[in-house]
Structure 1
Amino acid sequence: MTAGGAVAGAGSLKATMGRLDLLTDVSGHYRPDRKYTQQVVDRLRTRGLPLDPDQIKLTSRK
């Protein structure tokens, strides 16, 4: 989508009936550092979305 341009974060979201079930940093070939996924989590929380640790799955080692 960004054709190699800069992004704030990358990954997948899974939702059921408007509730976020899972946020991951799994994004095809792009492997974002944890700091970028944390940036997305922080932004969603500041926008009022409650996220529990069990809703976040990180695969990045960084």
Structure 2
Amino acid sequence: MSVIDGVPGQVEVVVRGVGEFGPSVRLFDWSRADEYGVAFAVEAADDGLRARLETVTVTVWDNMG
């Protein structure tokens, strides 16, 4: 896993699989939705395919288990 500071004040988290072209998941464009949650974008790539969600919101009330 690598953490990359792309732009001042913005943080990306990139998780990469094995190999130069292995699978990867990137979390980026973080923002505070309100005092109880955050919003961010997610991008997943593998084997020439790419999927992207523009806005994912997670709050303190979400059951992540």
Task: Work out whether the TM-score is over 0.5.
Answer: no
Which structure has the greater CA radius of gyration? 2
Q: Which has the higher contact order (CA 8 A, sep 6+)?
A: 1
Greater fraction of residues in helix: 1
Greater fraction of residues in strand: 2
- TM-score for the superposition, normalised by structure 2: 0.31
